[in-house]
Structure formats: C-alpha cells, structure tokens
C-alpha cells in the first residue's frame, strides 16, 4: 500500500471527474429537455476545442476573444444540428434517434481529423503559471480553472432551472411536452436551446482538456465516459450527473492504482467504469439515482 499515491490518484480522479461531470451534465440537459440520448456529446468537446485552437493559433486572437468566438460558434452549431438532423426525427423510435446522433458523431470526428490532422496539437500558453501544487499534487492551472468553471456552471444550471423563465419552460417541456405546448411554450425553441447550451458547456470542457493535453481526437472519448457517469447518476438528474462524473473519475484512478500495485494487467483504467456500469444496470436497471418510469396502459 502506498498512501501518497492513493491520495494523489484520488485527487486526480476528482479533478478529471469534475470534467466528466460537466460533460455528463450537458448530456443530461439534452435528454431531459428533448428525450434524446446524445451519442455525439464527445464530438461537441472535440469541435469546440478545435475551433478555439483554430481561433487562437491561425487567427492569433487573444484567448478571451477566441474563447468567446468559440462559444458563439458552438451555440449556432448546437442549434443547427438540432434543427437539421434531430427535428425531422421527432416521433421516430429511440433507435433511430440514437443512430442519428451516432452518425453525427462519426461524421464530425472524421471531419475534424480531416481538417486538423490526427496529431495532438498544443494550445498556446494561456496562463503564466502552468501548474499549481494542490495538497502535494502538481495540477495544471487549466484543470483548476475548469474546476472553478464547473462549479460555476453547476450553480448556473441550478439557478437557471429554478428561477429563469427559459429554465422553467425547459422543465415543463421535460415533464410533459403536450402540456407545455398548451401553456404556450414553444417546444421546438426549447429543444434548440437545450442543444445550444449543451454544446456550449461541452465546448468549455473541451477547451479545458485541450489546454492540458493538447487537442486531439482523444477528446471524443469523453463522450463515451459520459455513459457510466449518467447511469451512475441517473439519466434525468443534473446533480446525479455531476456526482456520477466524480465517481467515474475516482473509479478510473483507483482501478489504475489496483492495477499498478497488484494486478499489472494494464488497461483497467479504461474498462473499469464499464464493469461498474453493467453491475449497476444488473442491480438497478434505472441507474443509482434515476427515477423509475411508471407506465400505464
């Protein structure tokens, strides 16, 4: 047993997990509002990070402006995807909608590789101090910033859904589309808005990871990591998603610890969350915190 390593890995897991949480949150947002399971969530990170990289290196924009441009672009991107691809599929079976998002995922992943290549490209340095020491663990400043941003986004979501008009409209739509419509809520607008917000939030996560590891197609793997997180947290709970993300982050790192100390199998890091996922679905088919669907005939 090695206490420091265990501690550092756990801390690392929490930091990475917070990012998973943010991505999971934006995934749940789409699901809650429009009942669409978005298999292309990872590609939102990818597209966002590449766009930001492009603004910063090719256009030589200062970080803040480039970042804002990215957010604007992602808003449009989310809306366009929803309108062009998903709106025609309203009312189609689950499998069709899932496949459409998978198709988008493949398409954009390949497109990004085509445009930007497969090599990981580094962001220009944004912070003067590249890393900070947190309780003995050297952490990239960008990660710390992302932790702050994550908390801010989470708080923002909380406020949004509780007090803002649009947030309430979104909750109403999630609860019952017909009722919402009859109350004068424009359901298509709510759908588009949820995609836009989701794309923007994912892009923030994408830029953060890009700053730490460089931008590469590996970013889209975050989209896959979302699934264990949301199954843990329940598909319709925003807070659950955050919690799920944290758990998955820690789980990965603990798996790495167990692996490095005793098993030496390798790859446990990658697979452990999926074992956890299957296990949970075996015991609780609706996830740990998910609400059970009660169906009436």
Partner 1 sequence: MTVMTPAGDFRTSYRADTTIFPTRGSRAALWAGLAVLLCAPLVLDRYLLSLLINVGTLGIAALGLNILVGFTGQISIGHAAFFGFGAFSSAWLHESFGLPVLLCIPVAGLMTALVGLVFGAPAARLKGLYLAIATLAAQFILEDFFARARWFTGGVAGRLTESPAIGSFALDREESYFYLVLAFVIIMFVAAANLMRTRDGRALVAVRDHYLSAEIMGINLAYYRTLSFGIASFYAGIGGALYAHHLQFVSVEAFNILFSIQFLGMVIIGGLGSIMGSLMGAAFMVALPEVVQAAADALAGGAIDRALKIGGNISFLREMAIGAAIILFLIFEPDGLARRWKLIKAYWKLYPYSH
Partner 2 sequence: MKTALAIAAAVALATPALAQQRIPVGHLMDNSGATSDVGVPYGQGVADTLAWVNQTRQGVAGRQLNVLGFDYGYQAPRAVSQYQSWTGRDRVVAIQGWGTADTEALVRFVNRDKIPFVSGSYSAALTDAGGKSGRQGVEASPYNFFFGPSYSDALRGMLRWAADDWKAKGGQGRPKYVHMGGNHPYPNSPKEAGEAMARELGFEVLPAIQFALTPGDYTSQCLTLKQQGANYAYLGNTAGSNISVLRACQTAGVQVQFMGNVWGMDENAMKAAGAAANGVVFPVRTQVVTGQDAPGMETIRAISRLSDPTGNVYRPVHYLAGACAAMLMVEAMDTAAANGGQVTGERIQRGFYERTNWVPKGFEGVCTPSTFTNEDHRGTMRVAIYRAVVSGDTSQGSVAELMRAGTMRLEPVTTVELERKRELLGW
Strand partners, 138: 133
- Count the residues of the shown chain that bind partner 1, applying the rule CB under 8 A: 44
Min separation Cβ 256 and partner 1, Å = 15
DSSP structural state of residue 285: T
Does the protein bind partner 1 through residue 102 (CB under 8 A)? yes
How many Å apart are CA 27 and CA 101, to the nearest integer?
A: 12
Q: Alpha-carbon distance 148 to 132, whole Å? A: 14
Is-contact 249 5, C-beta < 8 A? no
CB atoms within 10 A of CB 25: 30
- The reply on whether position 291 binds partner 1 by CB under 8 A is no
Residue 192's closest CA among 44, 86, 43?
86
Q: Is residue 185 part of the contact set for partner 1 (CB under 8 A)?
A: no
Binding site for partner 2 (CB under 8 A): 2, 4-5, 8-9, 12-13, 16, 57, 113, 118-125, 130-131, 137-140, 209, 212-214, 216-218, 221, 252-253, 256-257, 260, 264, 266-267, 269-270
SS3 21: helix
Q: Which residues contact residue 291 at a Cβ distance below 8 angstroms, ignoring those fewer than 6 apart? A: 234, 236, 237
- For position 231 contacting partner 1 by CB under 8 A, the verdict is yes
At closest approach, how far in Å is the CB of 143 from partner 2?
9
Longest CA pairwise span in the chain (Å): 62
Q: How far is the CB of 94 from partner 1 (least distance, A)?
A: 5
> How far, in Å, CA of 150 to CA of 250, rounded?
17
* The token pair that represents 8 in the structure block: 């550092």
Q: Which is nearer to partner 2, 16 or 47 (CB)?
A: 16
Q: Which residue number, 66 or 290, has a Cβ lying nearer to partner 1?
A: 290
Q: Residue 49 in contact with residue 109, Cβ under 8 Å?
A: no
Binding residues among 3-42 for partner 1 as defined by CB under 8 A: 37
Considering only residues 260 to 279 of the shown chain, the ones binding partner 1 according to CB under 8 A are 265, 267, 270-271, 274-275, 277-278
The least CB distance from residue 53 to partner 1, in Å, is 18
Output 76 or 278, the one with its CB closest to partner 1. 278
Query: What span, in angstroms and rounded, lies between the C-alpha atoms of 41 and 107?
Result: 13
Name which of 172 and 258 has its Cβ closer to partner 2. Answer: 258
- Residue with Cβ nearer partner 2 (181 or 260): 260
Residues that bind partner 1 (CB under 8 A): 37, 85, 88-89, 92-96, 98-100, 102-111, 113-114, 224, 227-228, 231, 235, 265, 267, 270-271, 274-275, 277-278, 281-282, 285-287, 295, 297
């Amino acid at each position: 047993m090695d206490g420091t390593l265990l501690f550092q890995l756990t801390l690392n897991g929490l930091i990475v997990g917070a990012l998973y949480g943010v991505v999971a949150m934006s995934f749940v947002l789409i699901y809650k509002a429009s009942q669409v399971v978005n298999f292309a969530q990872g590609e939102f990170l990818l597209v966002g990070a590449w766009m930001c990289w492009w603004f910063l290196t090719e256009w030589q924009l200062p970080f803040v402006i480039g970042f804002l441009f990215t957010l604007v672009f992602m808003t449009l991107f989310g809306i366009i995807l929803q309108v062009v691809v998903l709106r025609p599929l309203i009312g189609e079976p689950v499998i069709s909608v899932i496949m459409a998002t998978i198709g988008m995922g493949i398409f954009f992943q390949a497109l990004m590789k085509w445009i930007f290549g497969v090599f990981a490209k580094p962001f220009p340095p944004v912070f003067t101090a590249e890393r900070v020491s947190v309780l003995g663990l050297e952490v990239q400043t960008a990660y710390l910033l992302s932790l702050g941003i994550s908390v801010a986004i989470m708080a923002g979501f909380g406020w949004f859904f509780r007090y803002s008009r649009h947030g309430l409209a979104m909750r109403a739509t999630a609860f019952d589309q017909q009722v919402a419509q009859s109350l004068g809520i424009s359901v298509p607008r709510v759908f588009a808005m949820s995609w836009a917000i989701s794309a923007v939030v994912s892009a923030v996560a994408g830029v953060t990871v890009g700053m730490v590891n460089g931008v590469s197609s590996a970013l889209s793997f975050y989209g896959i990591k979302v699934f264990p997180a949301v199954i843990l947290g329940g598909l319709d709970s925003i807070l659950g998603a955050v919690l799920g993300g944290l758990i998955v982050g820690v789980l990965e790192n603990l798996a790495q610890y167990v692996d490095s100390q005793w098993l030496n199998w390798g790859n446990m890091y990658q697979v452990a969350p999926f074992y956890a996922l299957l296990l949970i679905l075996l015991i609780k088919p609706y996830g740990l915190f998910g609400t059970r669907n009660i169906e009436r005939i």
